[in-house]
């Protein structure tokens, strides 16, 4: 569940609950990894695969409704900014970030 949790940025316990619900709904199945007792391969069931086109259409409609007011150029700029925000960062101060001067400091 750790890999799933990291991928969708939730904690492993929450990922496990999500997987349990999807298994219960017949949308995914758990497999067995003979090389690792801890690793649990997950697979979409035929029922889930049948939902994919409908879910893609819903996602496309949602994107159009949400981002439709933006021009193509604005959407591209937003995408660049979002990728920048989600990129891995090293810890420590950001040299590009400007802080206002503190009391007694020169700007």
Q: Which of 24, 64, 75, 18 is nearest to 45 (CA)?
A: 24
Q: Does residue 103 register a pLDDT over 90?
A: no
Instruction: Give the pairing type, strands 42-44 and 28-30.
Output: antiparallel
All structural domains of the chain with their residue ranges? 1-44, 51-86
0.75 surpassed by pTM: no
Choose the weakest-confidence range: 12-16, 70-74, 86-90.
86-90
Q: What would the pLDDT profile of 15-66 be if each residue is shown by its tens digit?
A: 999 999 999 999 999 999 899 888 889 999 999 999 999 999 999 999 999 9
Q: 19 with 10: CB under 8 angstroms?
A: no
User: Which DSSP symbol is given to 87?
Assistant: S
């Amino acid at each position: 569940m750790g890999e799933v949790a990291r991928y969708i940025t939730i904690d492993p316990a929450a990922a496990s609950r999500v997987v349990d619900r999807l298994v219960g709904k017949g949308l995914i199945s758990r497999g067995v990894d003979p090389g690792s007792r801890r690793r649990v391969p997950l697979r979409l069931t035929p029922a889930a695969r049948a939902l994919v086109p409908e879910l893609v259409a819903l996602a496309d409609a949602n994107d159009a409704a949400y981002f439709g007011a933006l021009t193509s150029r604005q959407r591209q700029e937003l995408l660049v900014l979002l990728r920048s925000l989600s990129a891995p960062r090293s810890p420590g101060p950001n040299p590009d970030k400007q802080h206002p001067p503190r009391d007694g400091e020169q700007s």
